[in-house]
Amino acid sequence: MIELAILGLLKEGPMHGYDLRKRLKNDFGPLANISYGSLYPALERLEKAGAITQVGRTGQNITAPVFTTGSLEGERASFMAKRATAKAVAAISGHSTRAKKVFTITEKGDLLFEELLEDPVSRDDPRGFNLRLGFAKHLSPTARIRMLERRRLQLIDRFETSKKSLGQPHRLLDEYELAIAKHSLEIVALDLQWVESLLEKENLRNTSNSNPVGKSNTAPGETAPIEDIRAADKVVSVKKVNQEASFHPQVETPV
């Protein structure tokens, strides 16, 4: 998760370790308590993998690496990147007189960032989802919708599991334990409502497509693919979820 965050921040421009840690602490709750002992080994791993590279140290006359493309447009892009890097490093240099390594993302890092951003391995971790959502502007519209759909289905599964556990507890709950359980269920319902609203906005942005993501590809009279059927079985409206979250199981009365 830390590698994803580092690469995402470096896509905004070159930074040194101090500024990276400051941004991680201020902008990303899941990484708010990250230490230099975790940050610098991650930077070293990314540098060895070729995902990031040093453009120099603060206090030096630093220029960005320029790659010859052979085209006028490519040369112009290289020049703009060089100028932007020089400005960023010059701004960084004013923070401290102590020389610091300044890192920038590489083309290989861009590819790794996209791979990590769409990786569903840690999909059930809400911290990982929130971090990925923070960088969702770098995804294509289709990939953003795919990410939100995955999260929606996860929340539906979590809601159904929590509702079943609350309705059939392994022991009688007192009123305080019940309050905690119901509150947890309501949080899942609110998260689902939030993701549904994000999905709705994403689909509205893609209404220009002849067949927007989320619409059926099945013609009248045809049988829907099994993947579509399974996805349809998962659909639960926010209204139904909120209604079900308000049910009252048996509670133990304090004496």
CB atoms closer than 10 angstroms to residue 45: 14
CA-closest candidate to residue 117, choices 8, 29, 214, 202: 8
pLDDT tens-digit series, residues 15-61: 988 888 888 888 776 566 777 788 889 999 999 999 999 987 655 44
C-alpha 41/C-alpha 33 separation (Å) is 16
Higher pLDDT: 95 or 203? It is 203
CA distance 47 to 52: 5
* Cα gap 142→120, rounded to integer Å: 15
Domain residue extents for the chain: 2-117, 140-213+223-244
Element (H, E) at 16: strand 15-16
- Structurally, at CATH architecture level, domain 2-117 sits in Orthogonal Bundle (1.10)
CA dist., res. 57 & res. 62, Å (int)? 8
Neighbour count for residue 105 (Cβ, 10 Å): 23
Q: Is the per-residue pLDDT at 177 higher than 50?
A: yes
Region class of 152: left (phi > 0), else alpha (psi between -120 and 50), else beta: alpha
Q: How do residues 85-109 score in pLDDT, each as one tens digit?
A: 555 555 544 544 455 789 999 999 9
Spatial separation of the C-alpha atoms in residues 42 and 17, rounded to whole Å: 10
